[in-house]
Amino acid sequence: MYLVLQRLLLTATLAVGITACSTESTRGAAQGAAGGAAVGAIGGMVSALVFGGSVSDAAARGAVWGGSTGAVTGGIHGAKKGESAREAESRRVAAEMEKLRSKIGDDAYRGLEALARCKHSVAVAYAEAAQTNKNYDYALSGYWLEVMSVAETDGESAAEAMLPELVERDSKLTSVGQARVLLVEVIGDLEDVREESGTDRTCSA
């Protein structure tokens, strides 16, 4: 997934037609794409962890439509030309984000937005709220989100301590060892998302 988000910035900007607009609009689109891509990537990771599939592939796909959302939102403030095209694109990618929200629940979705911005305490609060939901997928999304947040704030060993309970919660997992393999992949992908969106790999800067 290395450099996916950097390529995305150009792709998303071209997709919404911002290259023909003002410098302010272009700058806003690039910044919005980076932020949106991070949210989309982390959302894709959580979705893959809960519903199955490749975590890295889901992160890359999530970055694409998340970045498109951010580019449209960031660029629309500084440009008027092609407004209808941007609005159409905005509706399309917003629908993708809403689809993710409906799959993992509102609390987990808000939590991953916070995690994308390195606001770990906020992310954990939403994650804990999600875990109280009677919907299995929402609750599991919340627990995975908490594991990811703990891995960044307290270290991998602290996150590993949460794995036995994760195995109990997640019917797809058959052992702590299997969960540990996923955790290592998640930590690596999360650090890549940080770096590729222009922030410190571990949110320490």
Residue 67 pLDDT: 45
Residue 150 pLDDT: 96
Q: Where do the structural domains in the chain lie, given as residue ranges?
A: 4-196
Residue 136 pLDDT: 97
- The pTM for the full model equals 0.73
- Residue 53 CB coordination number (10 Å): 13
pLDDT, mean of residues 11-35? 44
Residue 98 pLDDT: 87
pLDDT digits (tens, 9 = 90+) for 132-154: 999 999 999 999 999 999 999 99
Q: Please, which pLDDT band fits residue 157 given cuts at 50, 70 and 90?
A: very high
